[in-house]
Amino acid sequence: MNNIKKEITEALKDQQAIFGDMLYQEISLELQPKKSKSLAVQLDSDKVEEPKSEKLFNEDFEEADSLESLNSMICECQMCSLGKTRTKFVFGVGNPNADAMLIGEAPGADEDQKGEPFVGRAGKLLNDILKAINFAREEVYIANILKCRPPGNRDPQPGEMETCMPYLMKQINLIKPKVILCLGRIAANGLLGKKLTLAALRENVYDINGVKVVATYHPAALLRNPNWKRGCWEDVKKFRKIYDELTA
Ligand code: URA
């Protein structure tokens, strides 16, 4: 008994030499699914302060059986730093059973305020483009690679795209479109996992899991350079043709 008391006293003395008069205990804190971090927390007599476990995302989102439930599972996402700077999470909008889907890059300032993709100047041009190929905005589904606005409208970073991509893939799995139009180089390369120029991307019709993918200019680029509208017109006619063929 005396030996045990002596050993405990020695151990406590060693701890005191390192940590001072506070008593610490090693515990495991779950920060992310399947990853744990070791943390020393202060022991207040015999009361252990519970660490606050912050959930960065809902790991069950893959089980969502509708767009609505998916949105409610992921709309509080904090998996990247954009979660802290966004005003609204921009999930997507449109027909949940759409055969045609449009994918942009990331929300801008207007979208961040409204929580809806393509509602600013570029969005108005997009609505006109859709009208020109006989689509109403409500008939298609519109989403972005990123669900949160990059501050100052900077380009999405590769890590942000990688983190957000599973949400878009789940949306595509739920909607099951027949054809996707990617708006701009970043959206097309992000979705297709490529590093091509827009000129190269526009030359082909791609296929991801049986869904046809066409790339064209981003509407914001068309606002800056109207000379590209002719090329965009060719691309969206091709998009419409594929849609007509696949839904006939
Ligand atoms: N640009 C995009 O890529 N997406 C939007 O939603 C708005 C502007």
Rounded distance from Cα 102 to ligand 1 centre (Å): 11
Q: What is the pLDDT of residue 5?
A: 73
Q: What is the pLDDT of residue 153?
A: 87
Q: What is the pLDDT of residue 43?
A: 34
25 vs 105: CA distance, rounded Å: 46
**Domains of the chain and any CATH numbers:** 61-247 (3.40.470.10)
Tell me the per-residue pLDDT of 78-101, one tens digit each, with 9 for 90 and over: 999 999 999 999 999 999 999 999
Rounded distance from Cα 215 to ligand 1 centre (Å): 15
High-pLDDT (> 70) share of the chain, %: 78
Mean pLDDT of 227-233: 98
Mean pLDDT for all residues in the chain: 86
Task: Say if ligand 1 is within 6 A of residue 104 CB.
Answer: yes
Question: Residue 25: is its pLDDT beyond 70?
Answer: no
Rounded distance from Cα 58 to ligand 1 centre (Å): 25
Given the CA of residue 111, which atom of ligand 1 is nearest to it?
6
Question: Residue 230 — very low, low, confident or very high, per pLDDT cuts 50/70/90?
Answer: very high
Question: Residue 59 — very low, low, confident or very high, per pLDDT cuts 50/70/90?
Answer: confident
Question: Parallel, antiparallel, or unpaired: how do β-strands 100-104 and 141-144 relate?
Answer: parallel
Question: Residue 19: is its pLDDT beyond 70?
Answer: no
Angle at which helices 121-132 and 229-247 cross, to 10°: 50
Question: Residue 38: is its pLDDT beyond 90?
Answer: no
Q: What is the pLDDT of residue 15?
A: 53
Q: What is the pLDDT of residue 39?
A: 30
Q: What is the pLDDT of residue 21?
A: 58
Rounded distance from Cα 197 to ligand 1 centre (Å): 19
Question: Residue 40: is its pLDDT beyond 90?
Answer: no
Long-range contact pairs involving 191-198 (C-beta distance under 8 Å, separation at least 24)? 191/103, 191/145
Question: Residue 41: is its pLDDT beyond 50?
Answer: no
Q: What is the pLDDT of residue 58?
A: 79
Given the CA of residue 145, which atom of ligand 1 is nearest to it?
3
Residues forming beta bridges with residue 101, ordered by sequence position: 141, 180
Task: Say if ligand 1 is within 6 A of residue 117 CB.
Answer: yes
Question: Residue 243: is its pLDDT beyond 90?
Answer: yes
- Secondary structure of 204-248 as H, E, C letters: CCEEECCEEEEEECCHHHHHHCHHHHHHHHHHHHHHHHHHHHHHC
Q: Which of 116, 218, 223, 224 has most ligand 1 atoms within 8 Å of its beta carbon, as the pocket-test mutant?
A: 218
Question: Residue 71: is its pLDDT beyond 60?
Answer: yes
Q: For the whole model, what pTM was predicted? A: 0.79
157 vs 155: CA distance, rounded Å: 6
High-pLDDT (> 90) share of the chain, %: 76
Mean pLDDT of 215-225: 98
Q: What is the pLDDT of residue 45?
A: 38
Rounded distance from Cα 117 to ligand 1 centre (Å): 6
Q: What is the pLDDT of residue 51?
A: 47
Q: What is the pLDDT of residue 42?
A: 33
